[in-house]
Structure 1
Amino acid sequence: MLFVFALGASTVLTGFLANDYIHDRSVEKLRDDERRIGVLIRSAPQTINSDQFETMLGPPLGTMGLDADDHILFAIGTSAGREYELARLAKNADPGEIMETGDDVVAVLITTPGMRITYSDRDTDDVARMILVNDPNVDRNTVVGFIGSMATIALVSVIVLMALGLVVLHIGLRPLTEMAQAADAIAEGSRDERLPVSNRGTETDILAAATNRAFDAQARAEDRARTFAADASHELRTPLATVSGWLELYRQGGLGDDDVEQVFVRIEDEVGRIRLLVEELGLLARLDTGRPLDSHPLDLAALAESVVEDARVIYSSLDITLDTPPDGLPVLGDEARLQQVLRNLVGNAVQHNSPGTQVGLTLYHRGDEACVDVVDNGSGIPAADIPRLFDRFWRAEASRSRAYGGSGLGLAIVQAIVRAHGGRVTVNSEVGRGTTVTLYLPTARLDDVVAGGLTNSRPSR
């Protein structure tokens, strides 16, 4: 629409400019003719044959002669038909003055002393004054016709371009229409619907592919959320059913006095499982929201010594070793959460392997990272199970059985805590040869250590 308006405005402006140009050029032509005739008259008296003169003149030029009494002697060319109007204008005009008729014909009055005009059918006349005429309408009509033709061509071109534009837009926007339809289907609950993607590699294809990836990520997140809710419900249902069963049995009088104390111990154990599960779920929820953990300079080696010492007391029959750098391993972090990470890893290595498994912790520097290897020579983990080790509530059939009493959240918590510290966790395992879990944490800068001081530089006990 703006283009059409601009084209119309340009056409009108061109018309105005062309009209002014034609008028100015007509006036200049009159001035040139006036000078030439003036030179000719001043050179000597002139006699002009009317027939020859009329043959010489034609559109847009014209000439009209007046005698000494302003009577019209002749009117040739474009002056014919306008002689009375020109004679009237000449009465009030001075020689050399530009006159203009009602139909935009321009004229100039010049004096012609000594000029005579001869006719074939009557006597010779003395021409006292002559009016030179130039009709710009001849050129104007030509220009107007040209502009009209150009405007017609432009209008047809605009119509054709608009039609082509509509076709191109229809074709170009068709993928967007299909994308909108697919998005509506997804919004209505069709979880398997995806935006169409062609092989042309256009911008709409790139957008559709990116949107599909977002939909896939959302679907995976929803699946994880549903699985997480179902698993959490299942994990809570089991101890709650146990507690409810014992209480119902007690209410019905099915327990003797000697059984009550033992029942309450069982109930207390199940409540403890529920409390632990709720605490772990709360911790994961806080870590998922990105809430910052405490961050203080601490010695990871001293922290590992404390964890290993506790594990040796709990699992006194196992060989649990520790290898730490002599100068310690300074990091910035939350002491309680990092201790929880080490406890979970050591506990997993002990609980999910057969009796007699050897477990070792090795701490070392690697560039700007503090590393901890938790190694066991147990049964190992199948390669297909390793990518799912950090999934919440996931357990492998062989090594993650509920018989070990875990909630299935231990490694998920480990990964969440380590990531909250800006670190990462990797697992390398081979069936029949054992498993190595490695923690990578950023080391503390020297100025942080000096300013804050290392905590837990020695085991607290």
Structure 2
Amino acid sequence: MKLRGLRRTWSFSSVRLRLLVGLAALLVCGLTASAVISAFLLEDFLDRRYENTLETSADRFKEVIERGPQTADADQLGTLLGPPLGLVVVGEDDKVLLSTGSASVAAGAVTELSSTVPAGTVVRYDGHDEQPGLAAIRVPSPGLTVDRGPGQGVLAPAALVLTIDTSVDDITISALIKRQVALVGGALLLLLGLAVLVLRLGLRPLARMARTADAIAEGHLTERLPTTRNGSEAGRLAEAVNRAFDAQARAEATVRSLAADTSHELRTPLSTISGWLDLHRQGGISGPALETALEHIENEVGRMRLLVEDLALLARLDAGRPVEQQDVDLTGLAAGVVEDAQIIYPRRGITMSPAPSAPVVGDAHRLQQVVRNLVGNAVQHTPARTAVQVDIVRDRDAVHLRVVDNGPGISPQDLPRVFERFWRAEASRSRAYGGSGLGLAIVEAIVHAHHGQVHVRSEVGVGTTVTIRLPHAPRES
């Protein structure tokens, strides 16, 4: 149980927590970028509005000044350019003669700043201490006089500096940023809560898979991960894992079956040997009968040795050990096997059709074992008068060797099992000939080790054809 809890904690850390952290990072970046862009756009909009206001006011003043000498009342100018606008009347040498409205608190600084750029250019004064931020524009005023009222005299300014107070909008932008920060925090918490819920629902199939995997690990081998038909990633993962579990179950069943079949095959010769030895110890064998008993024991030992050698060969081939690579003439090799079979079974019609040389690359001894097993199977599992024909055909890509018999054939339900180890369609007939049920399994393993294919075609009452296909030997350049 501790291991299960540890695995689930790590699963949460590696999947849910990482997804949540990644989503949180994306949300923070997205919401922050949205807030920054909004504040930037608002500030840019307000800046443009200030500039447009100042430029429009400056154009009106220019238009009035260009009409000729003009006299303006100072009080009227102050009223006309009230907050957030302001005016600085500038004399010679940029001396401040009069200031009204928003320009009063920083008239000198604004005048000095506006003198550093061409007339008609908007400049900005950021302000400091208690002074507000200002935007200003300078307008030359030749011929303009400003009447300050009775007893105040008349001013002849060299230029006018129009200003507008930007501090109010700066406060607005600051308040907007603060509110956006609060909204970003609230939205982040809300979205993360929803993300936790969505992840919990979305990863629920993985949690069910984990519980099922735990059940399988505890010994419930028939359990399988829940699957869906919606084509989701979790569904495809479950199907793939289920296929892996099925393959493992088949492999384990094969191992158990192999162990059972091997023990069964060894039990018969061991029982025979044990029986003869018991009979000998009881004094039931003497004289010529002892030779007979030893002969039987030797035959059974030979059967066990052959079985062990076949199993060892299959184990080596299953492990993927490479076979020898040498030039082999499959036609000559098959002809030698057919000649041996004709001597061993003189009453059987075993023949080979004339064939050209068929060069392949591989282990001559193993390929000879393939042909012997095929011919031997055809002889052992067919009636006495059944003919066996060996053919070799070459095409552009490969060499095809066929062993054909006109025996009773193999039933369709048995045909897919012919390469299974220890499987026999007729167990009694196989054992009568000393077969172990490994012949075709060895054939398949050897052919696959030579990068070839083997195929069986059979029809009941017509006969059976086993075909192996091996690649050509590469031509010498």
Give TM-score scaled by structure 1 length. 0.78
Work out whether 1:370 is the aligned partner of 2:399.
yes
Structure 2 alignment gaps of length 5 or more: 1-23, 117-123
Query: How much does 1:39 deviate?
Result: 8.9
Corresponding residue SS for 2:368: helix
Work out whether 1:60 is the aligned partner of 2:80.
no
The amino acid that maps onto 2:133 is V
Q: Give the fraction of aligned pairs with identical amino acids, expressed as a percent.
A: 47
Tell me, in whole angstroms, the C-alpha distance in 2 between the residues paired with 1:39 and 1:349: 118
C-alpha change, 1:124 and 1:22, in structure 2 (3 Å) is farther
Q: Decide whether the 8 Å contact of 2:349 with 2:388 is kept in 1.
A: yes
Query: Please, what is the CA RMSD of the aligned residues?
Result: 4.0
Q: Decide whether the 8 Å contact of 2:32 with 2:184 is kept in 1.
A: no
Q: Which residue number corresponds to residue 201 of structure 2? A: 171
Query: How much does 1:12 deviate?
Result: 5.3
Q: Which residue number corresponds to residue 71 of structure 2? A: 46
Q: 1:8 aligns with which of 25, 32, 37?
A: 32
If asked which structure has higher relative contact order (CA below 8 Å, sep 6+), I would say 1
Q: 1:125 aligns with which of 148, 152, 171?
A: 152
Q: Which residue number corresponds to residue 336 of structure 2? A: 306
Query: How much does 1:274 deviate?
Result: 1.2
Corresponding residue SS for 1:220: helix
Tell me, in whole angstroms, the C-alpha distance in 1 between the residues paired with 2:447 and 2:32: 69
Q: Decide whether the 8 Å contact of 1:73 with 1:125 is kept in 2.
A: no
Tell me, in whole angstroms, the C-alpha distance in 2 between the residues paired with 1:407 and 1:399: 11
Q: Which residue number corresponds to residue 438 of structure 1? A: 467
What is the CA deviation profile of residues 169-216 of structure 1, one whole-angstrom value per residue up to 9, with x for unaligned ones?
333322233233333333333322222221211233223223322222
Work out whether 1:405 is the aligned partner of 2:434.
yes
Query: How much does 1:393 deviate?
Result: 0.6
Query: How much does 1:286 deviate?
Result: 1.1
Tell me, in whole angstroms, the C-alpha distance in 2 between the residues paired with 1:211 and 1:286: 29
C-alpha change, 1:106 and 1:231, in structure 2 (3 Å) is same
Tell me, in whole angstroms, the C-alpha distance in 1 between the residues paired with 2:189 and 2:455: 66
Q: 2:323 aligns with which of 265, 288, 293?
A: 293
Q: Which of 153-162 and 20-29 deviates more?
A: 20-29
Work out whether 1:391 is the aligned partner of 2:415.
no
Q: Decide whether the 8 Å contact of 2:135 with 2:166 is kept in 1.
A: no
The amino acid that maps onto 1:414 is V
Query: How much does 1:387 deviate?
Result: 0.6
Q: How does 1:52-451 map to 2 (within 5 A)?
A: 52-63=76-87, 77-78=101-102, 86=106, 96=115, 100-102=127-129, 103-106=131-134, 114-118=145-149, 125-126=152-153, 133-147=163-177, 158-325=188-355, 327-397=356-426, 401-447=430-476
C-alpha change, 1:444 and 1:37, in structure 2 (3 Å) is closer
Query: How much does 1:147 deviate?
Result: 4.7
Q: Decide whether the 8 Å contact of 1:95 with 1:110 is kept in 2.
A: no
Q: Decide whether the 8 Å contact of 1:352 with 1:399 is kept in 2.
A: no
What is the CA deviation profile of residues 247-291 of structure 1, one whole-angstrom value per residue up to 9, with x for unaligned ones?
344445454354332222222111111111111111111111222
The amino acid that maps onto 1:275 is R
Tell me, in whole angstroms, the C-alpha distance in 2 between the residues paired with 1:126 and 1:284: 122
Corresponding residue SS for 2:241: helix
Tell me, in whole angstroms, the C-alpha distance in 2 between the residues paired with 1:311 and 1:305: 10
Q: Decide whether the 8 Å contact of 2:258 with 2:421 is kept in 1.
A: yes
C-alpha change, 1:379 and 1:288, in structure 2 (3 Å) is same
Q: Which residue number corresponds to residue 451 of structure 1? A: none
What is the CA deviation profile of residues 305-337 of structure 1, one whole-angstrom value per residue up to 9, with x for unaligned ones?
211221122112222222122x33333232211
